[in-house]
Chains A and B, each alone.
Chain A
Amino acid sequence: MSRELTEAVSDLREADALRITDELLESGADPLTIVAACKEAMDVIGQRFADGQAFIPELIMAGEIMQAISGKVKPHLASQPAEERLGIVVLCTVQGDIHNIGKDIVASMLGIAGFDVVDLGVDVAIPTVVQKVRELHPQILGLSGLLTIALDSMKATVAAVAEAGARDQVKIMVGGAPVNEDVCAYVGADGWGKDAVAAVQLAKSWVGGA
């Protein structure tokens, strides 16, 4: 039945996916198998995205379905041993920019992939980012932006993390429409991604998850 669930989620059949989840939970199935089926579905969709067979709406719809499934599964997970997590990612849209769509997709996909994502929101002041890096000791800091003004904010944020003495403790990734190899070098990040799937691959490669 978990195979059926993987297929329903990866085919974006929302009603079927939720019905199967209910049936699995009612039949006393291990909730972790449901979580695993969802991760597998996300891998399928991620691969389709990488192959040009799925697009942003498919990623968002899959995230939506998985969030609903997660809501159903969570009460049953309380007595379970914690599933293995890959690490902490602190994520934000940088100061001066309030665009959230790309960041939200990345947050959703990193969460499904097994990261603990701390989303600081949009237009995040540089001291806030530095404070969160110091407080949470994330493995990864993700900086997002759509406007060209965001590029200088990214650069300033990376510099502030360095000034706080935390630069070598965290890998920094940047993303957003204007971001490319040159931007990555300009802002002093460790890596960049063209889309959310690339962000997940990069994050996993940094923590040894892939």
Chain B
Amino acid sequence: MFTDDWNDLTPDQRLAARLDAWQNAPIEFAAPEVKQAYFDRVQLWRDAIALKKPAHVPITPWIGLFPMRYAGFTGHDGYYDYDKLAQAWDKYHADFQPDAIAMTLAMVPGKLFDILDFKMYDWPGHGTGEDTSYQYNEREWMKDDEYDLLISDPSNYWQRYYVPRMFGALEPWGMLSPFTDLCEIPFTAPFFVPFALPPVKQMLQKMMDAGDAAMEWLQAFLAIDGKLMATLGIPSQAGSSTKAPYDILGDTMRGTRGLMLDKFRRPEKVKAAMERLVPLAISWALRSADVNRHPIVFIPIHKGADGFMSDEDYRTLYWPTFKAVLLGLIEEGLVPLVFAEGGYNERLEVIADPDIPTGRMIWMFDDTDMARAKKIVGARQCIGGNVPGSLLAMGEPAQVDAYVKDLLGKVAGDGGFMLGTGVVLDEAKPENFRAFIDAGRKYGAGA
């Protein structure tokens, strides 16, 4: 870990240790001034998180396929051709010099999903066009009568029921026994019998092939990010991810519609499942954060947005387990960065929860009234985001400039703000993105 006495440290000490490790990462920088630029950029993040006034407003847009298109490539190129991905990432970061690296993690390896016959999403060449992003296939990947299986043993549920539906190549996993069957010597051999079956052997071969594809991707990804850090002094945006328990169920397990119906038909099961998922959600982020030595935990949230449930349901159903995850991460010295897609206007009072210590997380908003967000949430936590994807895709540079000017004027004056996009950006006119960056520098300098 970061120190020998980690278990004795307070959450504040852990946070400081993690931020120090990020800011002083052992990178071989191209020049001393690049090292300083990296240090200074992390300092912008530190100041914004601590609700202080940074040297300038950090510019940290959410980036999807935009760099690929900006460089003249397609979505398919981004998921399959690491040379083109590297060229596009180099060009985007050199041209715009943002204060965080675009999320390379979201540029997923198409080859891996080909090998595993991934069913849960479509991607270019597999259900969507050449130049689209990957897209989720909304359906009930977890059945309505499987809550007890999930609650009693999540790992077993994942391995033997959920994962075989997610990946065609992993269907044979359902033929295996739960690993918890393994304990005493006489019970061991039966566990291994299914491994002799041809479909299981084929599955294991495909998993090894997928491992090779994942390793190839990881090396490309580390080379791309490593170069950007070492030559441009730009830090990466996050070191781990997790999700709100309600979203784990609603996004890719029961599906949006399925979980909404469960709220009426089996509310106690939904609550029990969410509670079961809390420690898993914390552990997921913690393991990655420790390996990557990066304190920011990326948490995209979806199914608690305005309109998706009543205020009462948000308070009683969505927030309690999400709050438990946030507090668990903060206890470990991590900084949750919540990306609240859609509108979050009705939730501001709830998420400004006084139980969450001040200056310990970041709320990135999308279609939310930022002046209200600043007043209600910004008094306790760093906020950011909000510049609409539709404006960057369809508007004109002057409109973008005016929007950013107005936004920064309203919310950035006393710090605790990060300029970002309201969406993960796939489409934008280059001149509009340029206007976004330029306006951020112009109106965010000394703001």
Contacts and interface: CB of A to CB of B under 8 A. Distances in A.
A52 to B, nearest CB: 8
Contacts of A162: none
Contacts of B308: 55-57
A153 to B, nearest CB: 10
B260 interface: yes
Contacts of B240: none
Interface string B383-403: 000001110011100000000
A96 B390 contact: no
Contacts of A149: 132-133, 426-427
A116 interface: no
Interface stretch (A71-79, A131-139, A165-173, A179-187): A179-187
Given A98-B122, A99-B138, A148-B423, A182 B260 contact: no
A57 B309 contact: yes
Given A55-B307, A56-B307, A57-B313, A96 B426 contact: no
Interface stretch (B173-181, B261-269, B324-332, B405-413): B261-269
A100 interface: yes
A127 interface: no
Contact of B390 (A12, A60, A183): A183
A183 B395 CA distance: 10
Contact of B264 (A57, A95, A96): A57
A3 to B, nearest CB: 22
A167 to B, nearest CB: 21
A7 interface: no
A57 B263 CA distance: 8
A57 B135 contact: no
Contact of A99 (B135, B260, B395, B426): B135
A61 interface: yes
A119 interface: no
Query: A56, A61, A95 — which one has the most chain B CB atoms within 10 A of its CB?
Result: A56
B363 to A, nearest CB: 19
A95, A96, A177, most chain B CB atoms within 10 A: A177
Chain A CB within 10 A, most for which of B129, B307, B388, B423: B307
Given A12-B264, A148-B423, A97 B390 contact: no
B320 to A, nearest CB: 18
Contacts of A190: none
Contacts of B261: 57, 60-61, 64
B55 to A, nearest CB: 32
B128 interface: yes
Contacts of A99: 135, 138
A196 to B, nearest CB: 10
Contacts of A101: 138, 256-257
B391 to A, nearest CB: 8
A195 interface: yes
B313 A148 contact: no
A60 B58 CA distance: 41
A182 B390 contact: yes
Residue with the greatest number of chain A CB neighbours at <10 A, chosen from B136, B309, B427: B427
B365 to A, nearest CB: 14
Contact of B128 (A56, A96, A178): A96
B307 A97 contact: no
A151 interface: yes
B260 A57 contact: yes
Contacts of A60: 257, 260-261
Contacts of A104: 257
Contacts of A64: 261
B128 A98 contact: yes
Contacts of B122: 98
A186 B394 contact: yes
Contacts of B342: 177
B138 A100 contact: yes
B127 interface: yes
B292 interface: no
Contacts of A147: 132-133, 135, 426
Interface string B134-149: 0111100000000000
B127 A61 contact: no
B70 to A, nearest CB: 15
Interface string A9-27: 0001010000000000000
A60 B411 CA distance: 37
Interface in A114-137: 123
Contacts of B132: 96-97, 147, 149
Given A101-B138, A151-B394, A195-B307, 6 more contacts: A56-B260, A57-B260, A98-B127, A98-B128, A100-B138, A123-B128
8 contacts: A14-B264, A55-B308, A55-B310, A98-B127, A101-B138, A147-B426, A151-B427, A183-B394
